[in-house]
């Protein structure tokens, strides 16, 4: 991200820029003061948000495959509640509400990607399996991230964009400051929310527009499988502005390689094939659409790229990892609290010795859980424990880094790799068949939750760093949020399975869990995985590293569907354009700051109205609202894409216009 300097809506002027040597960032809340943070108000509302958004996110994720990020809508509600109650000094308390409540989305993502696969494969699953897998995975995610908090949050200040943390912080600060900043945020939030609400609930225009909207584009898509796809969501567009042009261009480049090079290449090869390509394929490539080729082949290359980028990141972070071990040793040996900044409230973590003891205790509980509740075999339980601990620890930095770059955690790709590795290891120790599938999926659920929580929690900690709350308090109370969210998700999954089921007509879609089930079943039946495709992705990541292009951002672009990458590029282009029109640096900074607030409003509005849509669809069978009848299917099918393109251009034009209205501060 191309960082900007200048005033930032209540945040210090160096909040988003890289600090020169010797300069420190001083947050809004004075590090030498003791502002109210953990109170009955913040804990009560944080737990309420955790329950509410866990249920909503679980339903949304299993119904449509999208787990909305809860941090932003929770921040909005926290600001609204504190304003309505006229709570004094609410900023620190609102951060705690957001941090506890945001456990919901990350726990949901960890659970629904794997656990429903058990029901899909007609295998047993209990509430306690879901609860313990989610809770223990969440604990490991918190505990493994704590040693790296200082590196990602403080040492990398200004070097990573942290898009979701930026948007959430702007909301919290604007709510505290009030005035014009809050007004800009509210207006942008309403525009972004109503924009996304219009297509998601009413089908006023298509959410995704493609080059097939023209006859020529449809012909090219049919003949050479070349398709351009764009999601018109205000939320994703706003995310692109905050990510910035540099990273959005790298992400888009990865996506374009997948869709404009590799998909047509597979299609060309497939023309001459008379049998399906790959052990698990049941359809000829020639009969596949571009989207099917991407899902079945090209996306696997992206997974390989993410895995190799993760390994490269681990190697590059070896000094950081070594520093964490060194810090732990120093504390154990000298009984000091973590770091040289221990006396500064805003840099205090859970003591490293206590953190290590908690990791060992959690590992013991995971072992007992595997032995007594999953595999019932000492060797198998030990193998499962080693898989969970090693992969969770190594890929914690990958999850945190990905979230800090694009606001998206590639947890499904890393979980898929975990399932593959788990299947290989468990097969080698003699655990195959249905028992092996159950074990691998539970192991995958623990790892998936750990990585999901690590990625989400780095956002919470960055918010706290910008505002000036106490990391130790965020870390301590995050455990309670994880427990409550895990219990809620476990109950919701069981209820949805009994109500709708996860397979058959009218069942919950659960696309990620279906994908995991499709992968794990042949693996445990000795069907080979697409190793060649993984290897190609790994080589691409290595080549990118050689030319100094961030491989993780590029691989994320290869893996994430094109329609979610292209709006990032448009948002990044707007950010570059509005901040380069003037030779007056202060004016450019003012425009960037206003644009950041508008983009944050788009993200917040889209997320909040997304929750509303999920609730309406959830309540529809109970209250008979007739939600499905509101969707204008015939209009959306015939005119939706044209209308979507026009509306997206109008949205972009509005953002440019409103951003350029900024005055020099």
In sequence order, what are the beta bridge partners of 45?
A: none
Task: Let me know how long the chain is.
Answer: 665
Higher pLDDT, 571 or 606: 571
**Does the structure show a pLDDT above 60 at 468?**
yes
Mean pLDDT of the chain: 80
**Does the structure show a pLDDT above 50 at 377?**
yes
**Does the structure show a pLDDT above 50 at 406?**
yes
Taking residues 244-251, what's their average pLDDT? 88
Provide the token pair at 281. Answer: 């394929």
The predicted structure's pLDDT at residue 569: 93
Cβ neighbour number for residue 249 with a 10 Å cutoff? 18
Higher pLDDT, 351 or 330: 351
Interatomic CA distance for residues 188 and 569, integer angstroms? 20
Higher pLDDT, 120 or 343: 120
Cα-Cα-Cα-Cα torsion 288, 291, 292, 295, nearest 10 degrees, comes to 160
Instruction: For residue 380, tell me if it sits in a domain.
Output: yes
CA distances to 92, 449, 586 from 435, in Å:
47, 21, 63
**Does the structure show a pLDDT above 90 at 97?**
yes
Instruction: For residue 296, tell me if it sits in a domain.
Output: yes
The predicted structure's pLDDT at residue 409: 60
The predicted structure's pLDDT at residue 482: 93
User: 80 pLDDT band (50/70/90 cuts)?
Assistant: confident
The predicted structure's pLDDT at residue 448: 84
Taking residues 114-121, what's their average pLDDT? 81
User: Which of 114, 43, 107 is closest to 70 using CA atoms?
Assistant: 107
> Would you say 218 and 212 are in contact if contact means Cβ atoms under 8 Å apart?
yes
Interatomic CA distance for residues 102 and 457, integer angstroms? 8
Higher pLDDT, 151 or 279: 151
pTM, entire model: 0.69
Instruction: For residue 20, tell me if it sits in a domain.
Output: no
Instruction: For residue 8, tell me if it sits in a domain.
Output: no
The predicted structure's pLDDT at residue 336: 47
User: 358 pLDDT band (50/70/90 cuts)?
Assistant: very high
Phi, psi of 8, rounded to the nearest 5 degrees: -135, 65
Taking residues 567-571, what's their average pLDDT? 92
**Does the structure show a pLDDT above 90 at 403?**
no
The predicted structure's pLDDT at residue 378: 87
User: Which of 432, 397, 494 is closest to 146 using CA atoms?
Assistant: 397
The predicted structure's pLDDT at residue 181: 64
Which of 242-246, 376-380, 509-513 shows the lowest per-residue confidence on average (mean pLDDT)?
Answer: 509-513
CA distances to 222, 262, 269, 358, 593 from 266, in Å:
14, 6, 5, 49, 44
Higher pLDDT, 563 or 179: 563
Q: How many domains does the chain have?
A: 1
pLDDT digits (tens, 9 = 90+) for 198-239: 887 777 888 889 998 888 988 998 888 899 999 898 888 987
Interatomic CA distance for residues 64 and 61, integer angstroms? 6
Structural domain span for residue 456: 40-660
Interatomic CA distance for residues 396 and 314, integer angstroms? 9
Instruction: For residue 31, tell me if it sits in a domain.
Output: no
Higher pLDDT, 88 or 382: 382
pLDDT digits (tens, 9 = 90+) for 257-304: 999 999 999 988 888 777 777 655 678 888 888 888 898 888 888 878
Taking residues 183-205, what's their average pLDDT? 84
Higher pLDDT, 283 or 478: 478
Taking residues 576-599, what's their average pLDDT? 84
> Would you say 651 and 193 are in contact if contact means Cβ atoms under 8 Å apart?
no
Interatomic CA distance for residues 410 and 408, integer angstroms? 6
Taking residues 39-47, what's their average pLDDT? 92
229's enclosing H/E stretch is: strand 229-231
Instruction: For residue 403, tell me if it sits in a domain.
Output: yes
**Does the structure show a pLDDT above 60 at 68?**
no
Taking residues 622-643, what's their average pLDDT? 68
Which of 310-324, 368-382, 415-429 shows the lowest per-residue confidence on average (mean pLDDT)?
Answer: 310-324
User: 618 pLDDT band (50/70/90 cuts)?
Assistant: low
What value does the CA radius of gyration of the chain take, rounded to a whole number of Å? 24
End-to-end CA distance of the chain: 23
Instruction: For residue 665, tell me if it sits in a domain.
Output: no
User: Which of 450, 442, 349, 449 is closest to 393 using CA atoms?
Assistant: 450
Instruction: For residue 5, tell me if it sits in a domain.
Output: no
Taking residues 51-69, what's their average pLDDT? 67
Interatomic CA distance for residues 353 and 521, integer angstroms? 41
User: 6 pLDDT band (50/70/90 cuts)?
Assistant: very low
CA distances to 145, 269, 341, 470 from 336, in Å:
19, 62, 11, 18
* Number of H-type helices and E-type strands within the chain: 28, 2
CA distances to 179, 325, 477, 553 from 30, in Å:
22, 30, 21, 35
User: 490 pLDDT band (50/70/90 cuts)?
Assistant: confident
Mind giving me the DSSP string for 319-386? Answer: HHHHHHHHHHHHHHHH---SSTTTTSGGG--S-HHHHHHHHHHHHHHHHHHHHHHT---HHHHHHHHH
């Amino acid at each position: 991200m191309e960082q900007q300097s200048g005033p930032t809506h209540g945040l210090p002027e160096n909040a988003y820029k890289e600090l020169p040597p010797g300069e420190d960032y001083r947050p809004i809340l004075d590090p030498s003061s003791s502002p109210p943070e953990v109170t009955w108000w913040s804990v009560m509302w944080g737990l309420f948000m955790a329950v509410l958004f866990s249920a909503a996110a679980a339903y949304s994720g299993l119904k449509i495959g999208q787990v909305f990020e809860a941090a932003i809508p929770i921040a909005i509600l926290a600001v609204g509640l504190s304003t309505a109650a006229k709570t004094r000094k609410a900023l620190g308390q609102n951060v705690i509400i957001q941090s506890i409540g945001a456990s919901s989305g990350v726990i949901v993502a960890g659970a629904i990607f794997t656990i429903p696969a058990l029901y899909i494969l007609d295998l047993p699953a209990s509430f306690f399996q879901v609860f313990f897998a989610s809770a223990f995975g969440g604990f490991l995610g918190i505990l493994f991230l704590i040693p790296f908090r200082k590196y990602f949050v403080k040492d990398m200040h200004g070097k990573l964009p942290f898009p979701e943390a930026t948007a959430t912080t702007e909301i919290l600060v604007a709510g505290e400051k009030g005035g014009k900043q809050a007004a800009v945020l509210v207006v942008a939030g309403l525009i972004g929310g109503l924009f996304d609400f219009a297509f998601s609930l009413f089908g006023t225009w298509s959410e995704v527009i493609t080059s097939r909207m023209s006859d020529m584009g449809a012909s090219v898509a049919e003949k050479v499988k070349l398709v351009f796809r764009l999601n018109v969501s205000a939320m994703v567009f706003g995310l692109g502005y905050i990510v910035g042009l540099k990273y959005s261009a790298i992400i888009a480049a990865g996506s374009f390689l997948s869709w404009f090079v590799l998909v047509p290449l597979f299609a060309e090869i497939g023309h001459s094939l008379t049998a399906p390509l790959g052990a698990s394929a049941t359809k000829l490539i020639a009969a596949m659409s571009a989207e099917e080729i991407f899902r079945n082949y090209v996306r696997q290359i992206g997974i390989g790229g993410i895995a190799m980028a993760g390994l490269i990141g681990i190697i590059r972070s070896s000094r950081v990892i070594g520093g964490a071990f060194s810090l732990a040793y120093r504390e154990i040996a000298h009984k000091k609290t973590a770091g040289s900044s221990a006396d500064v409230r805003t840099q205090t973590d859970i003591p490293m010795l206590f953190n290590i003891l908690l990791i060992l205790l959690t590992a013991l509980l995971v072992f007992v859980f595997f032995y007594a509740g999953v595999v019932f075999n000492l060797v198998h339980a030990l193998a499962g424990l080693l898989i969970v601990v090693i992969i969770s620890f190594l890929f914690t930095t990958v999850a945190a880094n990905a979230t800090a770059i694009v606001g998206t955690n590639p947890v499904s790709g890393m979980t898929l790799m975990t399932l593959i590795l788990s299947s290989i290891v468990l097969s080698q120790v003699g655990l195959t068949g249905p028992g092996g599938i159950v074990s691998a999926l539970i192991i995958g659920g623990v790892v998936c939750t750990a990585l999901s929580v690590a990625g989400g929690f780095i956002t919470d900690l960055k918010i706290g760093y910008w505002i000036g709350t106490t990391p130790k308090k965020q870390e301590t109370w995050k455990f309670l949020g994880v427990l409550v969210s895990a219990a809620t998700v476990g109950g919701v999954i069981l209820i949805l399975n009994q109500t709708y089921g996860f397979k058959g007509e009218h069942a919950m879609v659960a696309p990620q869990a279906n994908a995991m089930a499709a992968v794990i079943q042949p693996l445990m039946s000795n069907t080979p995985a697409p190793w060649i495709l993984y290897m190609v992705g790994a080589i691409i990541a290595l080549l990118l590293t050689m030319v100094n292009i961030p491989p993780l951002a590029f691989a994320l672009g290869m893996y994430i569907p094109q329609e979610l990458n292209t709006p990032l590029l448009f948002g990044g282009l707007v950010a570059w354009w509005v901040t380069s029109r003037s030779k007056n640096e202060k004016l450019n900074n003012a425009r960037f700051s206003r644009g950041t607030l508008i983009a944050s409003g788009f993200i917040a509005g889209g997320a909040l109205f997304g929750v509303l849509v999920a609730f309406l669809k959830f309540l529809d069978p109970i209250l008979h609202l007739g939600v499905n009848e509101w969707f204008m299917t015939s209009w959306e099918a015939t005119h939706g894409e044209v209308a979507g393109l026009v509306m997206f251009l109008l949205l972009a034009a509005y953002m440019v216009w409103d951003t350029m209205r900024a005055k020099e501060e």
